[in-house]
Structure 1
Amino acid sequence: MDIAGGRRSLTGLLVTWGLTRLVLLLFVLKVFVFPGPDVTSDVSVIYQGWYETLRHGTFPLDDVTWQYPPAAALPILSPALLGFLDYATAFFVLAFLADLVVLTLLLYAGLRPGKTVRGAWVWVLGVPLLGPTVYARYDVMVTAVAVAGLLAGARHPRVMGILVGFGAMLKVWPALLLLGARKRGAWAWAVATVAALAALFAVTMPGAFAFLTFQRNRGTEVESLGSLVIHVARQFGWDGQVLLNYGSIEFVGPWVNTISSAALFLTGVAFGWLLLWRLMATRFLPNTLAEAAFVAVLMFTATSRVISPQYMVWLVALAAVCMCFRSSRMGVPVALVLAAAFVTVLEFPIWFVHVVMSDTLGVALLFVRNGLLVIAALLGAVELWQSTVSREPVPPLPTQATRTRETSASS
C-alpha cells in the first residue's frame, strides 16, 4: 500500500474542499458577485422573515411559501446560535459547517476497509458545481442528517431510523432512504421519531401541519420535467403566464393542471416500480442500501412538479455515499448527476432569465439537465435491479460469533 501516495491524495482532497468552499463563502457574503439573480435573498428575506415568526412560538400560518415539515423550524432558527453575527452571515456559516460534516462522514466511511474516498471526491467536486445556492438554502443541513443516517444503516439500524425520521421531519425526502433497509429496527425507530416530533410540534406550536395544504396546491415550476411541454407550447402561442406562485416561478394557465397531474402520475409509477423492486430483491449487498436510496430520490426528483436547484444537493450527496463502496455499479448514473449539477448552475442562476422567457438557450438547458436526470434514473434503476433481483440470495456475512465457532470446530 502506498502510504505516501494516500496521504498526498487526502491532502489534495482537503485542499480542494477548502479552496472551493472559500469561494462559495465569498460569493454568498457578496465579496464576489455571482452572475444571475441574487440567490441569497431567500436567506436574508424569506428565512429571516420566518425566523421572526417562529421565535415567537408559531409557524407562519398565512405564508403559502412555508411548505416544509415542522422540524424545518430548527434550521431556520439555528442562526440564533451565532448571535454575534447577523442572521444571513450566521446561516451561511452554519451551512458551511454542515458541508464540513458531510465531508467528514464520507471520509470516515471511505477510509474503512472495503471502502474508498471516491465518495468524498464526488462531494468535494459536486457541490461547487451548483454554485452559491448550496449555502443559501437549508438543504445542505438536511443532507448532513441524511448522510449520517444512511452511513449508519448497516451497523446501527436504530440510529439510522432516528436520523431518517428526524430528516423526514426536516424535508420529507430522507424517508426514501429506508427503501433498502432490511432490519425492522430502522423502520420502527423512524416511525417512532416522526410520531414523537409530530406530537411535540402539534402541541407546542400552532400551524405545524399547514404546510400540507400549501404543498398540495403547488403547480408546475418552470424548471421541472413537465414544464418542458409548456416551454415548447410557448413557441406556438400558449396563452398563459409565468408567475411567482407558492414561493417559486411557476406556469399558470391552460393545461398546467393536466401537466401537474401527469407529473404526479409519473411519481406514482416510480413509487410502484420501487415497491416492486423491494418485493423482488433477494441480493442485498453492502452497497444496496445506498444505491436504493440514490435511485429512489433520483426518480422522485426527476418526476417532481418542482425541480429546484437545491434538490441537486441531495443527489450529489447520495451519489457520494454510493461511491464510497468499491463494489458500487452506479458510476455512470453518478457521472450523469454531476453533469446535471453543472448544467443546473447554468440554468439557475446564471441564465435563469432565459429559462423564464422560454427562449432557445433556456429551453435547451432544461432539456439537457432534465434529460440527464431522467437517463440517470433509468440507468440507476436498471443497475439496481440487475444487482439485487436474482434467484439466489447472497449469504449473510459471517459474524464474529460464527467465525469463532467455525475456528473452534476446525481445531
Structure 2
Amino acid sequence: MDIAGGRRTLAALLVTWGLTRAMLLLFVLKVFVFPGPDVTSDVSVIYQGWYETLRHGTFPLDDVTWQYPPAAALPILSPALLGFLDYATAFFVLAFLADLVVLALLAYAGLRPGKTLRGAWVWVLGVPLLGPTVYARYDVMVTAVAVAGLLAGARHPRVMGLLVGFGAMLKVWPALLLVGVRKRGTWAWAVAAVAALAAVFAVTMPGAFAFLTFQRNRGTEVESLGSLVFHIARHFGWNGQVQLNYGSIEFLGPYVGLVSSAALFLTGVVFGWLLLWRLMATRFLPNTLADAAFVGVLMFTVTSRVISPQYMVWLVGTAAVCLCFRSSRMRVPVALVLAAAFVTVLEFPLWFVHVVASDRLGVTLLVVRNGLLVVAAVLGAVELWRSTVSRDPVPPLPAQAARTWETSASS
C-alpha cells in the first residue's frame, strides 16, 4: 500500500469508527433511546450488583446469573478505575476504549507485509451492526484480549499463550484460539496462565468456581438454534413456557432437556471434527491460525444452548483478524457473519418481543440469523479443510512474506 493511500484509508477508518462509536455511546448514555428493551440494565443493575459483592472480596455465591470464570471479576470491577464517573458511565467508557484498542491492533497489523486493512474495516463496520448491546456487555473487553492474542500468535507465541489463558479465565471461549496452534510453548504458557489465575482467585476469593454449577444447569435460550424447535412447536400446542431463567430468557417444559442435550452432543461433534482436522492438517500458512480460530468459535457458537447477541462480538473480532491476512479464504463466511450481525440487532433488542412471542416475525428473524450462522460455519469448515488438509506441497510464498514467516516460525 502506498503511503498516501494508506493515510487516506486510515483516515477513513478513524472517521467511520468515530462517527459510529459516538452513536453507540449516545444510545447507551440514553441521549437517544434505542427501540426495544433497555440493553443497559445489565450494567446498571446486574453488573453493578456484582460489583458491590466483588469489591468486598467474594464472588456472588447465591446469584445463579453469575456464570463466568473468576477473572471476569476484573472487568466488572474495572469501573472503579474511573471513580469520578458513576458505575454505568464508567463501564461504557471502558468498553469504548476496548473497542478502540481492537481498532488500533487491527490497523497496525493491517499495515504489515502480507496483511491488509480489510480486517480493520470488518471491525469498524461489524460492531455498530450489533447496536448498543456491544457497549453494555463486557464481551468487547474479552474480544480485545482475544484479538491481541491471535495477532501475536505468529511472532510472539508466548505472548499469545498468556493472553489466551487470561482470556479463557475471563469468558472461556478464547481457549478456542488454540485450535490451530502448533507450538507447544503457546499451549504451555496458556495453561500456566490459567493455572496461576485459578490459584490466585481460589485462595483469595471464596466461590471462584461456583459458576460451573450454574452454567451446567442452563436450559435452551430463546435465540439459540435449538430454540427453533420450540418456537415452531408452540404453534402446534406445545405447552411449555418462556421465562427468565439463569439470567436469560429460556424455554422451560417438555422435551427442553432433550434439545439441550442434543445441543451438547453437537458441540461434542464439533470438538471431534476440530480434533480430526488438527490431526489431518498438513498445510499451515500464515493465515491458518486465524482461520482455524474463527471457524472454531463460529462452530461452537452455532451449537451452543445459548446464542446471546453479545456472542456476535466474538465472531466479528475473530473474523476481523482473519481478513487481516490477504491469503485468508474466509471472506464469504465473514460476510455471512456480518449479515447475521445486522439481523441480530433486529431480533434483539429491536423486535425481541416478537421473538419471545414466537410469532411469524420473531421466528423468521431467528431462522434467518441462525441460518446465516450455520451456513457460515459449514462454509468456513469446508474452506479450512480444503486449504490445509492436502497431500500437495505447500505453495511458495512471495519472497518478503516468506522471510517474515520463516523468522516467526523460528522464534
Tell me the TM-score normalised to structure 2 length: 0.96
Give the length in aligned residue pairs: 403
Tell me, what secondary structure is at the counterpart of 1:251?
Answer: strand
Q: Does 1:218 align with 2:218?
A: yes
Offset from partner CA, 1:5-64 (integer Å, 9 cap, x none): 332222111100000000000000000000000000000000000000000000000000
Q: Deviations over 1:186-241 (max 9, x none)?
A: 00000010001001100000000000000000000000000000000000111011
Partner in structure 2 of residue 288 of structure 1? 288
Cα distance in 1 for partners of 2:402, 2:26 equals 50
Aligned mates of 2:355, 2:168 — CA distance in 1: 31
Deviations 1:345-376 (A, max 9, x none): 00000000000000000000000000000000
1:360 is aligned to 360
- Specify the alignment match of 1:321 in structure 2: 321
Could you tell me which residue of structure 2 aligns to residue 253 of structure 1?
A: 253
In the TM superposition, what whole-angstrom CA distance separates every residue of 1:284-323 from its partner, at most 9, and x where no partner exists?
A: 0000000000000000000000000000000000000000
Instruction: Describe how 1:1-400 pairs up with structure 2 within 5 A.
Output: 2-392=2-392, 394=394
Percent of residue pairs identical: 88
Distance 1:294 1:58 in 2: 34
Checking the alignment, whether the CA contact within 8 Å between 1:284 and 1:393 is kept in structure 2 is no
Gaps of 5+ in 2: none
| Amino acid across the alignment from 2:169 | M
Q: Report the Cα offset of residue 3 of structure 1.
A: 3.2
Structure 1, unpaired ranges of 5+: 404-411
Deviations 1:230-268 (A, max 9, x none): 000000111011010000000000010000000001111
Q: Distance in 1 between matches of 2:36 and 2:393?
A: 52
Amino acid paired to 1:374: V
The DSSP-based 3-state class of the residue aligned with 2:113 is coil
1:2: how far off? 4.2
3-state SS in 2 of match to 1:243? strand
- In the alignment, the residues of structure 1 paired with residue 393 and residue 109 of structure 2 have an alpha-carbon distance, to the nearest angstrom, of 26
Contact 1:219-1:257 at 8 Å conserved across structures = yes
CA distance in 1, matches of 2:148, 2:6: 24
1:202–1:208: 8 Å Cα contact kept in structure 2? yes
Following the alignment from structure 2 to structure 1, what is the Cα–Cα distance between the partners of residues 312 and 371? 14
Q: CA deviation at 1:398?
A: 6.1
Contact 1:302 1:370 in 2 (8 A): yes
Shift of 1:4: 2.6
The two structures, once aligned, show a CA RMSD in angstroms of 1.5
CA distance in 1, matches of 2:255, 2:317: 35
**Structure-1 separation of matches of 2:294 and 2:284:** 15
Q: C-alpha distance in 2, partners of 1:387/1:17?
A: 33
Partners of 1:222 and 1:355 within 8 A in 2: yes
